[in-house]
Amino acid sequence: MSTLPQSILFCCDHNSVRSPMAEGIAKKLFGTDTYLQSAGVKNDLEIDGFAVNVCAELGIELSRHRSRSFEEMMQWGDDLSSFEMIVALSPASQRLAQELTRTSHTDVEYWPIMDPTGLGESREDRLVYYRQARDQIKSRLIERWGEGANTGQ
C-alpha cells in the first residue's frame, strides 16, 4: 500500500462504465483527500445504466456523470501532465495515456479490469458481470491505497 497521490485520472475506452465507476468508488473511499477525475479514449457513449445501478448499491451516485474524452479534457483546459497518476483500465486507454504524458512526470498504471459490457443474457446476468467489474475496481483501490476515511461500506 502506498501514499495516495494528490490527483488521479481514471481512464478507459468510452468513459461510460469502468472509469466512472473507478472515479465514483475512489471518491467514496478517499473523499476530498485527492483530486479524482475520469476520461475515455472516446466520448461516444453516455453513462451506462448498469454501472449506475451497481454503484448505487454501494451508495455511489453516477447518474449525473457526463462522459468525456482525453481530447475534450485538453480542449477544456485540463493538463494531463498535472495529474500525478493516471490509472488506465483498458489497453487502448493505457496506450493513449502513455503517449499523451510521455514528456511529463505522470505515472501511468494499467489495471486489467474486465469490461462487463455485452456479457450476460438476462438483466440479472448482466448485473453480475457489472458487479464483478465494480468489485475488481474497489479491491484494487483498497489494495493500492487503503480504505481511506470515507469507506462506510
Residue 49 belongs to some domain of the structure: yes
Residue 2 belongs to some domain of the structure: no
Q: What is the pLDDT of residue 117?
A: 93
Q: Residue 78 belongs to what domain range?
A: 7-145
Residue 1 belongs to some domain of the structure: no
Residue 153 belongs to some domain of the structure: no
Which pTM value belongs to this model?
Answer: 0.91
Question: Does residue 152 register a pLDDT over 50?
Answer: no
The 3-class secondary structure across the chain, one letter per residue, is CCCCCCEEEEEECCCCCHHHHHHHHHHHHHCCCCEEEEEECCCCCCCCHHHHHHHHCCCCCCCCCCCCEHHHHHHCCCCHHHCCEEEECCHHHHHHHHHHCCCCCCEEEECCCCCCCCCCCCHHHHHHHHHHHHHHHHHHHHHHHCCCCCCCC
Question: Does residue 60 register a pLDDT over 70?
Answer: yes
| CATH classification at residue 28 | 3.40.50.2300
- Residues 111-134: pLDDT tens digits? 999 999 989 999 999 999 999 999
Structure-block grid coordinates of residue 127: 448485473
Nearest-Å Rg of the Cα atoms of the chain is 15
Residue 151 belongs to some domain of the structure: no
Residue 44 belongs to some domain of the structure: yes
Q: What is the pLDDT of residue 149?
A: 53
Q: How many domains does the chain have?
A: 1
- The order of strands in the sheet holding 7-12 is 35-40, 7-12, 85-88, 107-110
- Residues 70-104: pLDDT tens digits? 898 888 877 788 899 999 999 999 999 999 888 88
Average pLDDT over residues 22-42: 92
Residue 152 belongs to some domain of the structure: no
Question: Does residue 50 register a pLDDT over 80?
Answer: yes
Residue 150 belongs to some domain of the structure: no
